[in-house]
Amino acid sequence: MRCPFCLHLDSKVLDSRQTEEGASIRRRRECTKCGKRFTTYERLDEIPLMVVKKDGRREPFSRQKILNGILRACEKRPISLQTIEAVVDKIEREVRSNLEQEVSSTAIGELVMQHLRDLDDVAYVRFASVYRQFKDIDEFLEEFAQLRRADR
């Protein structure tokens, strides 16, 4: 594993642990040249999963895109990065568990909204406003009203 600080190719593993639910292995490493420590994650090399966009284009599934979208929705909210990572892990597992090689971006968006609804109402509405492309305040208020009805 290449050191991110000095780019040396040799490092030693100091500690290995499974992440929650065994989805990956976290390894704490130390560079044998500069002595700095860094963390790597080992994940199973999955079957390529393609996302079918609304316009019909296909692109490889990107866990990072889901993470970025949720991070933006949760900005300045009292939600830890660990909690957000756990949500992204759940979404990725759900998407991959259907054993299909293609999944629609709409299905992924709905999964994200479902998990955000359970996590934080403000993050949910933020994500929904971008995902559903609200055009005016009435659409925003209707989504808010549906959220209020669901909470009762």
- Percent with pLDDT over 90 in the chain: 65
pLDDT at 145 over 90: no
pLDDT digits (tens, 9 = 90+) for 58-85: 999 999 999 999 999 999 999 999 999 9
Cα within 13 Å of Cα(32), Cβ side? 8
pLDDT at 46 over 70: no
Sequence letter at residue 128: A
Q: Between 107 and 48, where is the model more confident? A: 107
d(CA 63, CA 91): 9
pLDDT digits (tens, 9 = 90+) for 121-133: 999 989 988 888 8
Do 49 and 103 contact (CB within 8 A), yes or no? yes
Strands 102-104 and 50-52, bridge-based pairing: parallel
- Percent with pLDDT over 70 in the chain: 97
Q: Within 10 A of 144 (CB to CB), how many other CB atoms are there?
A: 15
Q: Hey, where are the domains in the chain?
A: 11-43, 50-151
